[in-house]
Every structure is written in structure tokens, then in C-alpha cells.
């Protein structure tokens, strides 16, 4: 079977509003990229005018700026400070309510009845990040809220047409090409008077939506043009993380002087963990009412960079910034393999861009690897 016969169609730019309408008509609330306070973030889309049409971003370590493009691309940007995790694992969520009932109490769990959501504009690294969070929240032990939201999400992916300066997805094997985990995947074909979308169907739900929209069959040339965009993007990825034996490298150098060097710059501000699409640290708090008859349990995002996060009997286990940075990096790139049999990093570069002082984890790993006397265990881990 040739590639064009495997569910690939062409959607004209003029029919993109009909595409959004078809998603809504299928019962989904559409969320995707939009501009807010000088950044491209994820939010609810009323229509195509909410998209960052004609905008792109310029990113470097500790730097983010919006710029106008020379065309009217809808998806001509790189990933920003938001990730899809905020819709699957909300930053603040009520888990249950306990109410006094005579000498006992009644616990009422929080229903998860949110409307189904369509994620418009998922990049390859972000689909990989959701796959990682699936193992965290819906693996051996499952989170009912996460499972419910995840099962009702429509994933509309977009192939990357450019690489961000802080991206290193090619090092992690997570992009830039979308190869699976989607309901529909778009490649924006723009230039030389052309503006269309190559659409690939990945599920029955996606096929039903696309059937309601005017499209035409894609040719081998169309598929080749889309493939060339992804190949060009992959070739332009500038950052690299050597993952060879990285588990043993990091866990074998827990006393390396580089941890102290990076701690002298790190503000422990938690930006990296808040922007990260896979970090899942949280804390819970009990919120009683004034009568004492009812109490709510809330969960909110937390970070291993907070000194109180590791407190035991009112004393922090990791008191220094260096120990907290080491905990984050070694967990993300090393001990995550022990927990979930994969890396916790997808190479999206958010932690580099949104670090106020521009700390680059690829540089930190390279410094440990290159330092004289750096040793690694040999436990057969990646």
C-alpha cells in the first residue's frame, strides 16, 4: 500500500475553519496555541483567529521572544512555557470532600466530568511526554482523574516545521517527526503560493472528523514534501545530549564538583519543573470549613526544588540547592529508568528556555562526562 493510500488527505487553508468546526461538532472543546502576555501558550480556541497566525518565537537559554514571520503560518512556532500536562494533571485539583456524619464521616470523591478536549497542535516531543505521564499516572497504580481525562482527549498533532534553539529531541528519540500516538496529524505546507495541510489519520475518531471536512487525496509528491519538512527540521536541531550510559554516568558521580558549580547559578525557582511536560511532583493539603463539619483535600503541583518538598519531621532531607538540582537531574535522566523504564526527558528544551539564568542540562551532563576522573557504574542501564 502506498503512503497516500494510508489515510493521508490534503486540507486547504480556506477549509481550516471547517476543520475546527468539525472537531467541535464531534463534542470536543478545542484547546491549542494562542498568544497571551508575550508568549505562545495553550488555551481555549474560539476560532482560528485565536491561533498565533504569522507569529514565531526565538528561544535560547533564559531567553524567549515573539517575532513576526514572513508568512501566515498557523503553526510556525516552537513549544512554549505550557504543556498539555495542565489539562491531564491539573495544577490544582480537589480530590475529595469528607463530611461529618454523626459519629463518623462520609467521603465523596471528586467527579471527573470535564467535557472532552481536543489538543490542537501537539508536537512529537509532547506526544512522547504524554506517553511518559501515562506510565506515571496510569501504570501499575492509576490516577482516576488522569485516566478519565486522557481517555476523552483527541490528539491533533502538528509536525515541526522548524527547530527551536533549545530543542534536543533528536537526542532523545522523540522527534521532530510525529510517528504515532495521535488521532490526526497535520503537516503545514506553505510557500510558493501554496498553503495547505497534509493530514494523516491515526484513529477511527480522527477519521470521522476528517470525513466531515472537504479534503482531497494526497499525492506521492505531497507526502514527499511533508517528509522533507521533517527531515529539514531534524537536520537543524542544534543542541545534543549524549545519552550513552547516562544512568550510570550520573549516579556514579553523585559527588562530582559540577553539582556545586551549577548550584551557584541556580535560583531554585522551580521554573524548570513547572514548564517540564513530564515532571509530576505534587503535594496535598487539607482545607477545612469554619464549622469543622467538612474538609476538602486538594492536590497541587510541587517541585523537588522547594526545600520543604523533602521535609521529614520538619527537617529537609535536601537542604542545599546543589542537592536539589542533583535530585532533579539524576531523577529525570537516570533513576527514571529504574521507575518507568524510560528517560523522563523528551528534549523539548523548555527547562533551558525558561530558566531565568539559562542553565542548560545538556551542558551540565557534558561537563560531568568530560571531567577528568568522572566514573560511572556499569549496571547495564542506558
pLDDT in tens, the chain (382 residues): 334 335 799 999 999 999 999 999 999 999 999 999 999 999 999 999 999 999 999 999 999 999 999 999 999 999 999 999 999 999 999 999 999 988 899 999 988 877 899 999 999 999 999 999 999 999 888 999 999 999 999 999 999 999 999 999 999 999 999 999 999 999 999 998 999 999 999 999 999 999 999 999 999 999 999 999 999 999 999 999 999 999 999 999 999 999 999 999 999 999 999 999 999 999 999 999 999 899 999 999 999 999 888 878 777 788 899 999 999 999 999 999 999 999 999 999 999 999 999 999 999 999 999 986 655 554 445 5
Measured between alpha carbons, how far is 132 from 125 in angstroms, rounded to an integer? 11
pLDDT of residue 3: 40
Is 0.75 topped by the overall pTM?
yes
Instruction: Measure Cα distances from 140 to 40, 135, 284, 286, 340 in Å.
Output: 35, 8, 21, 26, 10
Q: Is 139 helix (H, G, I), strand (E, B) or coil?
A: coil
Please say whether the dihedral angle defined by the alpha carbons of residues 306, 308, 309 and 312, taken in this order, is positive or negative.
positive
Q: What is the pLDDT of residue 139?
A: 85
For residue 309, the model assigns a pLDDT of 85
- DSSP, collapsed to helix, strand or coil, labels residue 68 as strand
Residue 127 CA to chain centroid, in angstroms?
7
Which is nearest to 123 in space by CA: 94, 63, 82? 82
**What length does the chain have?**
382
Compute the Cα dihedral for 118, 40, 362, 235 and give only its sign: positive
Q: Which of 56, 49, 57 is nearest to 71 (CA)?
A: 56
Give which of 127, 141, 215 is closest to 175, Cα–Cα. Answer: 127
Distance of alpha carbon 231 from alpha carbon 51, whole angstroms: 25
Q: What is the pLDDT of residue 112?
A: 82
Give the pLDDT score at 374: 59
Predicted confidence at residue 375, as pLDDT, reads: 58
Amino acid at each position: 500500500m502506498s503512503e497516500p493510500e494510508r489515510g493521508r488527505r490534503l486540507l486547504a487553508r480556506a477549509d481550516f475553519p471547517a476543520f475546527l468546526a468539525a472537531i467541535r461538532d464531534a463534542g470536543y472543546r478545542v484547546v491549542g496555541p494562542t498568544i497571551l502576555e508575550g508568549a505562545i501558550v495553550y488555551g481555549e480556541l474560539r476560532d482560528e483567529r485565536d491561533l498565533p497566525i504569522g507569529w514565531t518565537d526565538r528561544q535560547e537559554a533564559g531567553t524567549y521572544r515573539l517575532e513576526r514571520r514572513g508568512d501566515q503560518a498557523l503553526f510556525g512556532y516552537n513549544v512554549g512555557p505550557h504543556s498539555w500536562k495542565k489539562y491531564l494533571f491539573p495544577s490544582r485539583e480537589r480530590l475529595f470532600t469528607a463530611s461529618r456524619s454523626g459519629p463518623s464521616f462520609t467521603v465523596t470523591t471528586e467527579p471527573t466530568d470535564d467535557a472532552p478536549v481536543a489538543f490542537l497542535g501537539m508536537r512529537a516531543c509532547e506526544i512522547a511526554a504524554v506517553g511518559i505521564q501515562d506510565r506515571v499516572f496510569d501504570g501499575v497504580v492509576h490516577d482516576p482523574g488522569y485516566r478519565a481525562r486522557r481517555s476523552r482527549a483527541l490528539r491533533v498533532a502538528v509536525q515541526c516545521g522548524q527547530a527551536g534553539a533549545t530543542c534536543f529531541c533528536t537526542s532523545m528519540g522523540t522527534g521532530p517527526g510525529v510517528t504515532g500516538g495521535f488521532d490526526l496529524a497535520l503537516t503545514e505546507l506553505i510557500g510558493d503560493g501554496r498553503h495547505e495541510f497534509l493530514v494523516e489519520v491515526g484513529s477511527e475518531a480522527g477519521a470521522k472528523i476528517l470525513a466531515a471536512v472537504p479534503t482531497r487525496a494526497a499525492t506521492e509528491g505531497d507526502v514527499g514534501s511533508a517528509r522533507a519538512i521533517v527531515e529539514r527540521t531534524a537536520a537543524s536541531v542544534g543542541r545534543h545530549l549524549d545519552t550513552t550510559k547516562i544512568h550510570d554516568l550520573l549516579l556514579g558521580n553523585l559527588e562530582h564538583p559540577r553539582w556545586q558549580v551549577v548550584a551557584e547559578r541556580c535560583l531554585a525557582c522551580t521554573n524548570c519543573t513547572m514548564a517540564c511536560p513530564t515532571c509530576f511532583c505534587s503535594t496535598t493539603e487539607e482545607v477545612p470549613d469554619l464549622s469543622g463539619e467538612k474538609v476538602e483535600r486538594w492536590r497541587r503541583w510541587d517541585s523537588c526544588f522547594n526545600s520543604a518538598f523533602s521535609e521529614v519531621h520538619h527537617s529537609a532531607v535536601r537542604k542545599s540547592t546543589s542537592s536539589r538540582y542533583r535530585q532533579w537531574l539524576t531523577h529525570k535522566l537516570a533513576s527514571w529508568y529504574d521507575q518507568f523504564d524510560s528517560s523522563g526527558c523528551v528534549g523539548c528544551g523548555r527547562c533551558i528556555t525558561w530558566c531565568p539564568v539559562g542553565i542548560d542540562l545538556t551542558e551540565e551532563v557534558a561537563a560531568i562526562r568530560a571531567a577528568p576522573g568522572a566514573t560511572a557504574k556499569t549496571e547495564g542501564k542506558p
